[in-house]
Amino acid sequence: MLFISTANLVSALALCSTLTGLVLANGPRTQCSVTYNAPPGANCTSIGEQAGVNQSTIQSINPGTDCNDFPGGTLCLKQWTPTCTLNATATNQTCDALADVWNITSSDFVEYNDNVNDTCSNLVIGQPYCVSIDGCYPGNDAPFCQQ
Ligand SMILES: *[C@@H]1O[C@H](CO)[C@@H](O)[C@H](O)[C@H]1NC(C)=O
Ligand SMILES: *[C@@H]1O[C@H](CO)[C@@H](O)[C@H](O)[C@H]1NC(C)=O
Ligand SMILES: *[C@@H]1O[C@H](CO)[C@@H](O)[C@H](O)[C@H]1NC(C)=O
Ligand SMILES: *[C@@H]1O[C@H](CO)[C@@H](O)[C@H](O)[C@H]1NC(C)=O
Ligand SMILES: *[C@@H]1O[C@H](CO)[C@@H](O)[C@H](O)[C@H]1NC(C)=O
Ligand SMILES: *[C@@H]1O[C@H](CO)[C@@H](O)[C@H](O)[C@H]1NC(C)=O
């Protein structure tokens, strides 16, 4: 019989992840919290003046945007990165199943874990993943707030 200690298994998984270039549990993705639907011909100066955001911010959160020849479309004006408030270990299950246990949607799960890809095909068994960005506050009776 082959005995594998948890510590060995974890380091084996960590090594495996390093070799495949995966980045393990590092928390929620940065999201756009304010968008602006700019008309064609708008430029970052004119958009920025209306929205109170400077051109370098617009440029850095919308990589690839040509500020002086904007074809029109949605620009992000403000971003935020949620803080993870609860991790759970992935056991032998899919992201959908894990999300189900923690009462979040599968797309929430992907949003909460920026190391998980869109189809969640790179979940690593035995690793922690973020399953909540809710804070505990009076009246929040989520189980993890009862401890
Ligand atoms: C940006 O748009 C404003 C308003 O239309 C215009 O006055 C300004 O010259 C434009 N700036 C550039 C760099 O195109
Ligand atoms: C643009 O705005 C950001 C955030 O308010 C600020 O940190 C930055 O220094 C500003 N940059 C310029 C060139 O004004
Ligand atoms: C979740 O796990 C990550 C990676 O181990 C860690 O950086 C983060 O602090 C953890 N968050 C919580 C709320 O435990
Ligand atoms: C995970 O679960 C599936 C289906 O229940 C099973 O076939 C598979 O052997 C399990 N894998 C591990 C590593 O336990
Ligand atoms: C998920 O929701 C169910 C039904 O509302 C509840 O019984 C369960 O405790 C919840 N689980 C978590 C982890 O919040
Ligand atoms: C998901 O991640 C795995 C492992 O990094 C990769 O092989 C696969 O192509 C990715 N799938 C998508 C849809 O990004």
CATH number for the domain that contains residue 47: 3.10.350.10
pLDDT at residue 7, rounded to an integer: 40
Model pTM score: 0.69
Does residue 59 have its Cβ closer than 6 Å to ligand 2? Answer: no
| Pairwise pLDDT comparison (66 vs 104), residue with the higher score | 104
Q: Please tell me the distance between residue 135's alpha carbon and the centre of ligand 3 in angstroms.
A: 14
Residue 42 lies in a domain: yes
């850095």: which residue's tokens?
Answer: 60
Give the pLDDT band (50/70/90) at residue 135.
confident
Residue 21 lies in a domain: no
pLDDT at residue 143, rounded to an integer: 66
Residue from 87, 127, 134 to probe ligand 3 pocket by mutation (most atoms less than 8 Å from CB): 87
pLDDT at residue 129, rounded to an integer: 94
Residue 34 pLDDT exceeds 50: yes
Highest mean pLDDT among 14-18, 123-127, 136-140: 123-127
pLDDT at residue 99, rounded to an integer: 94
Asked whether the beta carbons of 79 and 63 are under 8 A apart, the reply is: no
Q: What is the mean pLDDT of residues 34-55?
A: 86
Residue 51 pLDDT exceeds 90: no
The two tokens of residue 134 are 């809710």
Does residue 56 have its Cβ closer than 6 Å to ligand 2? Answer: yes
Residue 91 lies in a domain: no
Residue 46 lies in a domain: yes
| Pairwise pLDDT comparison (51 vs 121), residue with the higher score | 121
The two tokens of residue 106 are 């599968």
Does residue 87 have its Cβ closer than 6 Å to ligand 3? Answer: yes
Q: Please tell me the distance between residue 72's alpha carbon and the centre of ligand 6 in angstroms.
A: 32
Residue 44 lies in a domain: yes
Residue 40 lies in a domain: yes
Q: Which atom of ligand 6 is nearest to the CA of 120?
A: 1
Identify each DSSP E strand in the chain by its residue range. Answer: 31-38, 73-80, 86-89, 128-132
Residue 146 lies in a domain: no
Residue 65 lies in a domain: yes
Of residues 137, 125, 133, the one with CA closest to residue 12:
125
What is the domain count for the chain?
1
Residue 50 pLDDT exceeds 50: yes
Q: Which atom of ligand 6 is nearest to the CA of 21?
A: 5
The two tokens of residue 87 are 């991790």
Residue 9 pLDDT exceeds 80: no
| Residue-number span of the structural domain to which 63 is assigned | 31-80
Does residue 50 have its Cβ closer than 6 Å to ligand 1? Answer: no
